[in-house]
Chain A
Amino acid sequence: MSDPSKQSRDDFPYRMSIPTRWGDNDMLGHVNNVLFYRYFEAVVVRFQMQEAGVDWINDRISPQAVETMCRFHRPLSFPETVEAGLKVERIGNSSVTFAVALFGEGHKTPAATGHFIHVFVDSETLKSRPIPAETRRAYEKFR
């Protein structure tokens, strides 16, 4: 894969705007590293609900986070609005890997890039289950 820090917004077919908040900044005046994952989570969960038909409240089989990773290329800072981008990087039998990037205002390349892996789990047995067919079809459209 090419250098993720050189990617552009166009590399990510699903995007959402996330306004930063005052409390996201730490004492160095930048968004704290932990909060980058809050933004990752926001774009992944919104995508899952709006595009992939996931209903965490009612579905017996639903995705759980098993691995996340982030590389920090540049700081983000309140009050800028972040644009989060997502694409489906890998579709397994029961797991899906999303590539995620966060773009700061006025920048063509990302402030951070990483991934978020969801595995579909039966909420009663806690065993992994195959990705439902409709959800899988939705993922194919965002590769």
Chain B
Amino acid sequence: MTQDPIETRDRYRHYLGIQTRWSDNDIYGHVNNVTYYSYFDTVVNCFLIAEGGLDIRDGGIIGVAVETMCRFRKPIAYPEAIEAGLRVGKLGNSSVRYEIGIFRAGEDEAAASGHFVHVFVDRDTNAPVPIPAPIREALERIKAEAPGNKGRSKR
């Protein structure tokens, strides 16, 4: 198993508060591992809709997940409210790699962290398309900035 440095709040550029729900907990009383990816989905899509003008209903371009990953460090549990931190690690022509941290209230170290790669495609043909300008501008604003960090874009 690779041991990456523990992610801290200062490494993310955008935050979304998420209220956990009763049904997020499994029989151990902790949020089930699968549910973390619904938090990933939520922070990414809320950002694209609010900041990039993504139209999930009628837009001709959609984001398709091609790879996701999560490392689980500390449990979280309903009824706590969490925060999802978001930054852009790599911005390509038609794809973007988001890096996400899940934080408990008042804690600086992430309870879980991972990534999510989106490819933007034409809704009808499924062919990759360049990231639309308003979305690209929004993604540029949350690019990872720490020098020498592995999430930094190398393009």
The residues of A with any CB-CB pair to B shorter than 8 Å are 27-28, 32-35, 37-38, 41, 56, 64-72, 92, 95, 117
Q: Check B33–A69 contact: CB distance below 8 A.
A: no
Q: Check A67–B41 contact: CB distance below 8 A.
A: no
In the assembled complex, the Cα of A22 lies from the Cα of B68 at a distance in Å of: 23
Residues of B within 8 A of A65 (CB): 33, 72
The stretch from B59-67, B80-88, B135-143, B146-154 touching chain A is B59-67
Grouping DSSP codes into helix (H, G, I), strand (E, B) and loop, the B interface class, with mixed when no group exceeds half, is mixed
Q: Check A33–B72 contact: CB distance below 8 A.
A: no
The residues of B with any CB-CB pair to A shorter than 8 Å are 1, 27, 32-35, 37-38, 40-41, 56-57, 62, 64-72, 123
In the assembled complex, the Cα of A28 lies from the Cα of B101 at a distance in Å of: 26
In the assembled complex, the Cα of A115 lies from the Cα of B111 at a distance in Å of: 20
Q: Whole-angstrom distance from the CB of A14 to the nearest CB of chain B?
A: 20
Q: Whole-angstrom distance from the CB of A117 to the nearest CB of chain B?
A: 6
In the assembled complex, the Cα of A90 lies from the Cα of B72 at a distance in Å of: 19
Q: Whole-angstrom distance from the CB of A7 to the nearest CB of chain B?
A: 16
Among residues of B, the one whose C-beta sits closest to the C-beta of A90 is B1
Q: Check B38–A68 contact: CB distance below 8 A.
A: no
Q: Check B34–A33 contact: CB distance below 8 A.
A: no
In the assembled complex, the Cα of A69 lies from the Cα of B123 at a distance in Å of: 25
Q: Check A38–B34 contact: CB distance below 8 A.
A: yes
In the assembled complex, the Cα of A42 lies from the Cα of B20 at a distance in Å of: 22
Residues of A within 8 A of B32 (CB): 41
Residues of B within 8 A of A117 (CB): 1
Q: Check A67–B69 contact: CB distance below 8 A.
A: yes
Q: When A28-B62, A33-B41, A41-B33 are in contact, do A67 and B1 touch as well, CB less than 8 Å? A: yes
Among residues of A, the one whose C-beta sits closest to the C-beta of B65 is A33
Residues of B within 8 A of A64 (CB): 72
